[in-house]
Amino acid sequence: MLNIVFFSALVLYFLCSVCQFVASALKKDKFGKIAFAIFLIAFLLHTGYLIARGIIAKRLPMSNQFEFATTFAWGISLLLIILRKKYDAEWITVVAMPAAALILSYAALQPMEIKELMPALRSVWFGFHIGSAAIAYSAFIIAGGASLRYLLLARKNAPDNAVKLNQMDYLSYRLIALGFLFLTITILVGAIWAEQAWSSFWTWDPKEVWALITWIVYAVYLHLHLRKKNQKMLAWFAIIAVPVVLFTFVGVNSLMPGMHSYG
Amino acid sequence: MKKLYSFFKSMRFGLILLVLIAICSVIGSIIPQDKEVSWYVQNYQDLHGVILLCKAHRIFQSWYFIVLLALLSLNLLLCTVTRLRMLLSTRSSPDPATYSRDEAHLTETGMSILHEHMKKMHCRESRYGDAVIYKKNSFGRYGTFITHLSILLTVIFGAAALYLPTTIDQTCVPGEAITMEDGTKIAVDSFHIENESGDLDYASKVTVTLPNGKQSDLTEVSVNHPLSFGEYKIYQQTYGTAGSVTVRNTDTDGVDTLTLTDQCFLSIDGNNGMWYEAIYPGYIQEEDETITLITSTTGRYEDPVYQVLLSSDGVNTPVLAFPGEKLTVYNMEFTFNDPVEYPGLRIKHTPKLINALLIAVFVLMIIGLYITFFLQPVLVKVDDTGYAVGGPKPDGMRIELLALLENEQVEEENDEC
């Protein structure tokens, strides 16, 4: 039953992505509204799945690659809903819906069985550390998507687009600032947890190192944004930074065994 | 000299350092760190010379990485001082006359929307001549100062927390104690691998006695729950299983129970006795009655088996013994007991203050970042001719107001149509 809910959400995410793509390509608002309605149903199923899994497992569903990817995709969807409401930025759906669908697809490829939480993960810091990482990664992914959209719009060179381009650049900056704050929380909470579990705040474990690299990449972005010289270059920067985030999330666990190899 | 000072405090220098630290970190994550030199020779046949020469195998301890961190600290220090000077020399609210004025003229509706929006944002309202000034988040100007200061302190206290503590790993059989160099005693009362419900939960019950006689309560130490007492912190790190044998001298009837963690020879005369080899968690008995020992050592020892060698008159006889079994060699009777589980503890001696300071600057950093990004000062002047946005970072507010007024303008045009 639980798997049916999960795969229904996944299928609906793909369906709403296709609808949204059609809406954008044909400039049909109706398709856009249908896409968002399907997306909301998918999000409800997704939320229900996570709650049910958490109740069955008697813990937060974030302990392995499958659970983290599922939470990560949920974070993207939640941010999309908040952004649409707060900034009335409908265009954000074009990038966020497929992103949620793809991350959830990655989750579907991972072992899905519910396992007992290993002693090393039984800590009050567990939820803060992994939850904040999920928010940070979600914000970075949507910021990358917003920047991609920025570049596509900037190619048209229409003078009417200036305000919209500024909005996109600013939204991308705000999302990266949000992601940066939460990535900092992830790293600092992780350091406190590491001191309690392994006796040292920092061990240069590959996951720690790549979290630091991601932090540096976005710190550089935020500093460059202060100069306001070249918005296009910043948009490229935000897009190129996304693979770094994905490598920190997926690549490190698969290619670099270390103390974070729980999944 | 002035040029050098400007360069050291510049953002450009800081960014160069961050990029170099990131590059070193990538190298450090690709090349496995802190292995024996022979490992690199074996695994990087063509590159090992370069790796060893550049110290890429210990990159995070290399001199150039430490220099990069030191330079970053210098850059952060100068940056923090500059920001502090700026904060002290400028007023919290800049003169409204200096606000930028690149926004469009406002219609009456636009004006009322703007006033309403600023009130909705809970801005403080004041008058400046004919204009209305809206202010919010004046404290936001301290954000970048707090952030840079906290990052600098994190690097300093972080280095202290990494390099000042002394750490040792030590096993200890329950009932025994570890004595540290300063006389502190760490006694292990008991240890278990599984909790009452049968779940894996490695935990030791430990007391610490300081040289001044001060003693901690009997405290359970488990993964994620170290015991902190005085300047010591005790961590549950690993575990092991030892054999336990009761030896009785049949002549004198003297009895002693021994815990066997390593291979040893138990004898009275030095010639005859028992060699203890190992203890195994279980065994499989085949149909032809041969026994295959299980060597996997995860979790509890369900069917423990002792592997021993009985030595009598120069003849060695290999024997498998089970708990409860008795073996006799000359005047010695060996009774095999259930195995004893014992913990491997990590004992860290660290100044408590460093940890507390480091955690305090972590909190400061999060507060600093929050203020920097989410409590940016809002300064808006509205008069008959339009509005102007001021403050150190006016872009966000400017974009927000432009979007607000553009939307309202579109709605207004639609209504007119």
Residue B338 shares a structural domain with residue B247 = yes
List phi, psi (to 5°) of B112.
Answer: -70, -35
Same domain, A194 and A78: no
pLDDT, greater one: A156 or A7: A7
| pLDDT given for residue B97 in this prediction | 61
- Are A234 and A157 within one domain? yes
Residue B186: inside a domain? yes
For residue B407, the chain A residues in CB contact (below 8 A) are 88
B272, B328: one domain: yes
Contacts of B164 in chain A (CB under 8 A): none
**Neighboring chain A residues of B18 at a CB cutoff of 8 Å:** 216, 219-220
**Range among A105-119, A130-144, B76-90, B260-274 with highest mean pLDDT value:** A130-144
| Continuous segment of H or E residues that includes residue B137 | none
- Nearest-angstrom CA–CA distance, B405 and B114: 8
Same domain for A141 and A260, yes or no, is yes
Together in a domain, B254 and B337: yes
| pLDDT > 70: percent of chain B | 92
Alpha-carbon distance A222 to B368, whole Å?
15
| B28, B365, B369 member nearest A209 (Cβ) | B28
Average pLDDT over residues A126-130: 92
Of A118, A199, A209, the CB nearest to B167: A199
B407 or B44, which is more confident: B44
* CA A172 to each of CA A127, A178, A181, B20: distance values in angstroms, whole numbers, following the listed order: 26, 10, 14, 25
- B358 or B4: which leads in pLDDT: B358
Say if residue B410's pLDDT is above 60.
no
Window from B6-20, B177-191, B398-412 with minimum mean pLDDT: B398-412
Same domain membership, residue B232 and residue B251: no
- A184 and A86 within one domain: no
pLDDT digits (tens, 9 = 90+) for B39-83: 999 998 888 899 999 999 999 999 999 999 999 999 999 999 999
Same domain membership, residue B54 and residue B34: yes
State yes or no: pLDDT of B411 exceeds 60. Answer: no
B162 contacts A201? CB cut-off 8 A: yes
Min Cα distance A123 → chain B (Å) is 6
Q: With a cut of 90, say whether residue A83 has pLDDT above it.
A: no
Residue A250 and residue A147 share a domain: yes
Q: Say if B263 falls within a structural domain.
A: yes
- Measured between CB atoms, which of B29, B201, B365 is closest to A119? B201
Q: What is the count of structural domains for chain A?
A: 2
A161-198 vs B352-374: helix crossing angle, rounded to 10: 170
Last residue of a domain, one of B313, B342, B371: B342
CB distance A103 to A66 below 8 Å: no
**Which whole number is the average pLDDT over B276-284?**
89
Residues A259 and A174 in one domain: yes
> pLDDT: is B47 or A89 the higher one?
B47
Return the sign of the alpha-carbon dihedral for residues B399, B404, B407, B410. negative
Q: Do A170 and B396 touch (CB under 8 A)?
A: yes
**Is residue B260 in some structural domain?**
yes
pLDDT at B398 over 90: no
Flag whether B123 is in a domain. Answer: no
- Model confidence over A26-45: pLDDT tens digits? 878 888 889 999 999 999 99
Using a CB-CB distance cutoff of 8 angstroms, which residues of chain A are in contact with residue B347?
none
Q: What are phi and psi of B207, to 5 degrees?
A: -125, 145
The ipTM value here is: 0.90
A199 and B235 within 8 Å at the Cβ level: the answer is yes
Given this model, what pLDDT does residue B417 score? 47
> What local confidence, expressed as pLDDT, does residue B14 receive?
95
In a shared domain, residues B202 and B229: yes
Q: What is the DSSP string of B185-242?
A: EEEEEEEEEE-TTS-EEEEEEEEEE-TTS-B---EEEETTB-EEETTEEEEEEEEEEE
Chain-chain contact of B224 with A256 (C-beta, under 8 angstroms): no
Residue A81 and residue A41 share a domain: yes
CA atoms of B118 and B378, how far apart (whole Å): 10
Which of B33, B226, B372 lies closest to A196 in CB terms? B226
> CA A186 to CA A184: how far, in whole Å?
5
Domain shared by A201 and A166, yes or no: yes
Taking residues A240-256, what's their average pLDDT? 90
pLDDT (0 to 100) of residue A112: 87
Instruction: Give the other-Cβ count within 10 Å of B407's Cβ.
Output: 12
The residues that bridge with A256 in the sheet, in sequence order, are none
B19/A220 touch (CB, cutoff 8 Å), yes or no: yes
Does residue B367 fall inside a structural domain? no
Higher pLDDT, A238 or B416: A238
The reply to whether A250 and A122 lie within a common domain is yes
Tell which of A114, A136, A160 closes a domain. Answer: A114
Q: Which residues contact B329 (CB under 8 A, 6 or more apart)?
A: B272, B273, B274, B310, B311, B312
Residues B278 and B322 in one domain: yes
Tell me, yes or no, whether B235 and B316 share the same domain.
no
- Position B412 in a domain: no
Q: What is the pLDDT of residue A4?
A: 93
Q: Is the CB of B60 less than 8 angstroms away from the CB of A204?
A: yes
- Which of residues A234 and A158 earns the better pLDDT score? A234
- pLDDT tens profile A169-190: 888 999 999 999 999 999 999 9
Residue B304, min C-alpha distance to chain A (Å): 25
Task: Please report, rounded to a whole number, the percentage of residues in chain B having pLDDT higher than 90.
Answer: 44
Question: What was the pLDDT predicted at B87?
Answer: 86
A70-98: average pLDDT? 87
Q: Are residues B246 and B336 in the same domain?
A: yes
Q: Which of A114, A141, A158 is the last residue of a domain?
A: A114
Task: State the burial class of residue A130 (Cβ atoms within 10 Å of its Cβ: 0-12, 13-18, 19+).
Answer: buried
Q: Is the pLDDT of residue B92 over 70?
A: no
Yes or no: say if B386 and B101 are a contact pair by the CB < 8 Å rule. yes
- Looking at the fold, whether B205 and B292 belong to one and the same domain comes out as no
Domain hosting A153: range is 118-263
B376 within domain boundaries:
no
Of the pLDDT bands very low, low, confident and very high (cuts 50, 70, 90), residue B94 is low
In a domain, B44, yes or no: yes
Which among B314, B342, B370 is the end of a domain? B342
A66 and A169 in a single domain? The answer is: no
> Best mutation site among A128, A165, A210, A213 for testing chain B: the one with the most B CBs within 10 Å?
A213
- Residues B172 and B228 both lie in one domain: yes
pTM for the predicted model, two decimal places: 0.87
Q: Tell me the residue range of the domain where B57 lies.
A: 2-66
Distance (Å, whole) CA B300 – CA B294:
12
Last residue of a domain, one of A114, A137, A156: A114
B246 and B318 inside one domain = yes
A36 and A134 co-located in one domain: no
Do A135 and A254 lie in one domain? The reply is yes
- Looking at the structure of chain B, the number of domains it has is 3
Q: Does the structure show a pLDDT above 80 at B201?
A: no
Cβ neighbours of A184 in B, within 8 Å: 365-366, 369
Q: Give A144's Cβ-side CA count (13 Å radius).
A: 19
Give the A:B interface size as CB pairs under 8 Å. 106
